Structure 1
Amino acid sequence: MTHPAHPALWLSGYIPDLPTPFDEADNLDLAAFARLCERQIEAGVSTIVVGETAGEASTLTPAEHEAIVRAAVEIARGRVRIIVGAGSNSTSQAIELTRRAEAAGADAVLSVVPYYNNPMQAGIYAHFRAIAVSTSLPIILHDVPSRTIRELSDDTLARLAKSAQFIGLRDASGDITRPLRLRPNLPPGFRLLSGEDVTALAFIANGGDGCISMVSNVAPDLCQAILSNCRQGRLQSARYLQSRLEPLTAALARESPAALKYALCLLGFMSPATRLPIVELADADKAEVASAIAAIGDEDIACPVENWHGRLLTEAAASSYRRFE
């Protein structure tokens, strides 16, 4: 576990929200998980997220969740930071998940606004403060109103950010102007990350620090190139690269994490297996994902160990073109 002197400085760029691989017997596939981690480390990311939205956290047992965290920490060996999804609509359960993540060696936790309960802002504030009291880990707040109904208001965020333990926000509200509005009311080191690939570039261009991303699981190098161009003021180049990802981004957003897992299966990294209530993609959706990957045109996105998946991708892409003719 690594706690730098300025903990928020590493929290930037495209940060992959890793899926949790399962084998044919519905057990954790830690070998596939290791491949996913190593690929992101080789791509130069500063951080990876595990046990969160893409990781089907709600279907993992406490023991499985802890096993994924420990595996990520052991694989990383300090080369990248490990952020662990530790949110719940029960404050006591969120505290338990947070404590388990800390014991397993996590560097920070990602904690979502309580969903389903529909709490008032005072309750949201008290929820996050209770979690902070329970741990020494840095906390990244997760605002995703489409899933939680209640948003994390700007005022509540500003109140929480007064504590140095709250180091950033994953903003999946879709409001690309939010960084401009929030910056004057937040500490200088507080990080603002998009939680949506669709709006990530605009969010970053408006002062955001990066994106906790689904699509970077598939094309990490392309995402890093988008970020680099944006930070150097080459917005036209960044927009062009972003446009290459748009079909894949749209396909992943509609049926994630099933679409993400299928994409990574085509590239040879993992099985597409999900857990109920998530089911396998329909054939038309599979064809769309395959077509979107083929359109990227990057030869180095496939797993070099599983070359047979390259043939599968070619066949699936050809099938998709026939469907849309």
Structure 2
Amino acid sequence: MRLSGSITALATPFGAAGELDLDAWQRLLQQQLDGGTQAVVVAGSTGEAAALYDAEFDLLLRSAVEFIAGRIPVLAGTGMSNTAKTIEQTRRAAALGADAALVVTPPYVRPTQAGLVAHYRAIADDDALPIVLYNVPGRTGGDLLPETVAELCGHPRIVAIKEARVEAERMAALLALKGSGFAVLSGDDPTACRAMLAGADGVISVASNVLPASMRRLCDLARAGKADAARELDAQLQPSFDFMGVEPNPIPVKAVLALQGIGHGLRLPLLPLSTAHADAAATIAMRVRELEQACAAAA
């Protein structure tokens, strides 16, 4: 498997009473296919994985696999704070038809670098699915260092890393490890263009939930080395990226999705977007609509 381009970390639509909204889920999936998204992640942090029951994880993943029907890869977020539970969740995802697993560093427990090597090797050795490493220290409390990635990236079942740290130096260190069997993906929308112009293979994006055509075009331009055009589009996207950070993810992106008619809310302890940002959400929703129309026309 070679992952590249615009990959969406899908939000999970809920109904007004907090139940899964499968009709909205299918509309979101169709929006991704129509916009040219090149892979999707089900039940990642943007998908409120920690708030999902096992049966809901199964239903979301199974329905995504059936709906997408092989047109693009479907990744499942399977990372847990314990190795054995992560292996069990990855096997579960494989049985439901996922193409790969996105495995975050174990949240909260903060293992050593040697512990991370042992953790990821155990998951990869189990051979249930190809594994995408995921480093997001701001959420997990631990940092998967480039020298640790260097120990892992030669494993035949470890196929990529999603790196959410924003420093250009961190991306450069990871790009030195890129090869035919190991892709490097940005996990940060605001710096994804810079990362791809430096050689990253793509981005696993939050904003592409509502900007699938725009993010696909950004990826196409940046990966083709069309730096001026990519930077111009990136500049137009930055206000949307900024809005996605005004409150914890996925609160802002779900506010825009709700304005698009896809889902209603979140699950506690997350609350809907505060009223102080309501006008900004409406402005961004309008900007999103304009950008999507322009990028779809340019495709």
Report the CA distance shift for 1:195/1:76 in structure 2 as closer, same or farther (over 3 A).
same
Establish whether residue 247 from structure 1 lines up as the match of residue 216 from structure 2: no
Give, in whole Å, the separation in 2 of the partners of 1:121 and 1:102: 27
2:69 aligns to what? 77
Asked whether the 8 Å contact 1:13–1:209 carries over to 2, the reply is yes
From 248, 256, 260, the counterpart of 1:263: 256
C-alpha deviation, 1:284, in angstroms: 1.7
Asked whether the 8 Å contact 1:57–1:85 carries over to 2, the reply is yes
1:132 aligns to what? 124
Q: Structure 1 stretches of 5 or more lacking a match?
A: 1-6, 302-325
* 1:272-291 correspondence to structure 2 within 5 Å: 272-291=264-283
Larger mean CA deviation between 252-261 and 26-35 belongs to 252-261
Give, in whole Å, the separation in 2 of the partners of 1:235 and 1:204: 10
* 1:97-136 correspondence to structure 2 within 5 Å: 97-136=89-128
Give, in whole Å, the separation in 2 of the partners of 1:154 and 1:144: 13
Give, in whole Å, the separation in 1 of the partners of 2:28 and 2:250: 15
Establish whether residue 228 from structure 1 lines up as the match of residue 234 from structure 2: no
Give, in whole Å, the separation in 2 of the partners of 1:164 and 1:299: 39
Larger mean CA deviation between 58-67 and 233-242 belongs to 233-242
Alignment deviations for residues 217-253 of structure 1 (CA, whole Å, 9 cap, x no partner): 1111111221222233321221111111111111112
C-alpha deviation, 1:296, in angstroms: 4.4
2:146 aligns to what? 154
Asked whether the 8 Å contact 2:80–2:86 carries over to 1, the reply is yes
Establish whether residue 50 from structure 1 lines up as the match of residue 77 from structure 2: no
* TM-score normalised by structure 2 residue count: 0.93
Corresponding letter in the other structure for 1:195: G
1:65 aligns to what? 57
Give, in whole Å, the separation in 2 of the partners of 1:208 and 1:300: 24
Alignment deviations for residues 25-53 of structure 1 (CA, whole Å, 9 cap, x no partner): 22111111111111111222221111001
Give, in whole Å, the separation in 2 of the partners of 1:265 and 1:84: 23
CA RMSD in angstroms comes to: 1.6
From 197, 203, 206, the counterpart of 2:195: 203
Give, in whole Å, the separation in 2 of the partners of 1:196 and 1:79: 25
Give, in whole Å, the separation in 1 of the partners of 2:250 and 2:206: 9
Work out the percentage of aligned pairs sharing the same amino acid. Answer: 38
Asked whether the 8 Å contact 2:7–2:38 carries over to 1, the reply is yes
Asked whether the 8 Å contact 1:259–1:286 carries over to 2, the reply is no
Give, in whole Å, the separation in 1 of the partners of 2:288 and 2:265: 24
Question: Secondary structure in 2 aligned to 1:25?
Answer: coil
Report the CA distance shift for 1:258/1:184 in structure 2 as closer, same or farther (over 3 A).
closer
1:170 aligns to what? 162
Alignment deviations for residues 155-205 of structure 1 (CA, whole Å, 9 cap, x no partner): 211111111100000000112233432344443331100001011001111
Asked whether the 8 Å contact 2:37–2:213 carries over to 1, the reply is no
Asked whether the 8 Å contact 1:179–1:207 carries over to 2, the reply is no
The aligned length equals 292
Corresponding letter in the other structure for 1:117: V
Question: Secondary structure in 2 aligned to 1:140?
Answer: strand
Q: Structure 2 stretches of 5 or more lacking a match?
A: 294-299
Report the CA distance shift for 1:115/1:69 in structure 2 as closer, same or farther (over 3 A).
same
Establish whether residue 90 from structure 1 lines up as the match of residue 58 from structure 2: no
Establish whether residue 214 from structure 1 lines up as the match of residue 206 from structure 2: yes
Report which structure shows greater RCO (CA 8 Å, sep ≥6).
2
Report the CA distance shift for 1:156/1:107 in structure 2 as closer, same or farther (over 3 A).
same
From 22, 40, 60, the counterpart of 2:14: 22
Question: Secondary structure in 2 aligned to 1:254?
Answer: coil
Alignment deviations for residues 96-133 of structure 1 (CA, whole Å, 9 cap, x no partner): 21111011000000001112111101111111112123
